Amino acid sequence: MDLPGKDAGALKQTEGREKILVRKKMAEIPLLTPYKMGKFLLSHRIVLPPLTRQRSYGNVPQPHAILYYSQRTTKGGLLIAEATGVSDTAQGYPETPGIWTKEQVEAWKPIVDAVHEKGGIFFCQIWHVGRVSNYGFQPNGQAPISSTDKPLTPQLRASGVDVAEFSPPRRLRTDEIPQIVQDFRVAARNAIEAGFDGVEIHGAHGYLIDQFLKDQVNDRTDKYGGSLENRCRFALEVVEAVVDEIGADKVGIRLSPFANYSESGDSNPEALGLYMAESLNKYGILYCHMVEPRMVTLGEKFETPHSLVPMRKAFKGTFIAAGGYGREDGNKTIASGYADLVAYGRLFLANPDLPRRFELNAPLNKYDRNTFYSLDPVVGYTDYPFLESTA
């Protein structure tokens, strides 16, 4: 005769073994361990970073983005929406979304709702391109604004065929800068109205904020130029305004001190990154999203002697690393404490079920660079296949 106590004991043993197996599996795949980011409980460490897709016709997010983002949503996963313009002067690429008009805010709402319905955490990256633009993108055909009036030389587009032309920029007057800060503040307010959980300030990759940060671009002689403190002033004013508007617990920033995108290098990127990491602590923001020094140019990954470690140690919030990661080095990054979260751009673009593929160590779809910036609402956008078991 079996005793009830014996059954209960056996059940507890079984449950205990199952918990041990789960913990063992998670230990083997650090990217799939949970993480608490402020008030957000993340189920894994794999982040969808902001990826410009150029499918927001007329700068208005489109219904096809509902499927795109929801495909890449897991319960407790962090997604960051593509770079989103803060004003009509912020544009530099065709068909990129904005969040400065009521129409744009309303168009974002069903996209955000779709991510939330699947349990995702969704941030909006707010953006101003600065001099990475031309007269055709600017209101009334005016000159793009920047920290400088130095023109940007033409660049070969990602397609490898077309060349992007840039109009000579107009240096912002000192008294105009508060209005640009206000544009970021309003964009953050609008993002929360659209339902986003927070915003990421785009301070990377040679765009407007980066044009102030980097001494290769910033040749100002006012309080926004010259010293490291002065060059970082605009970025930190934007952070302060956004934090004041929506709360520090909903704010992140992306920085790329080592990168030279759009001729935006710096003579001492280590000092720049460290100064920003330390200065951000004053505002208590949720996270800092840093681009790896190995990604200083477009193309294949390569290593450098530089490291994000000093910035990681200095910054008190959640630290996200991005830049050419795969499954194995991503796991090492989490296991070693080098970063709290890892962002995967091209891999997540081509593998909407990337966390599941990492869990199973399954083969990955290959991305097609030719369709990154197509206007097609499906091809290269929502047609990448899932694993059969998760389709």
Q: Which residues are catalytic?
A: 207
DSSP 342: E
Chain centre distance of CA 156: 23
Token code pair at residue 283: 């505002």
DSSP string, 81-148: EEEEESSTTS--STT--B-SSHHHHHHHHHHHHHHHHTT-EEEEEEE--TTS--GGGSGGGPPPEES-
Contact call for residues 138 and 89 (beta carbons, < 8 A):
yes
Burial 225-238 (b: 16+ CB within 10 A, else e): beebebbbbbbbbb
Chain centre distance of CA 132: 18
Handedness of CA 56, 58, 61, 66 (dihedral sign): negative
What are the beta bridge partners of residue 48? Answer: 79
Question: Under the phi-then-psi rule, with left for phi > 0, alpha for psi from -120 to 50, and beta for the rest, what region is 181?
Answer: alpha
Contact call for residues 108 and 195 (beta carbons, < 8 A):
yes
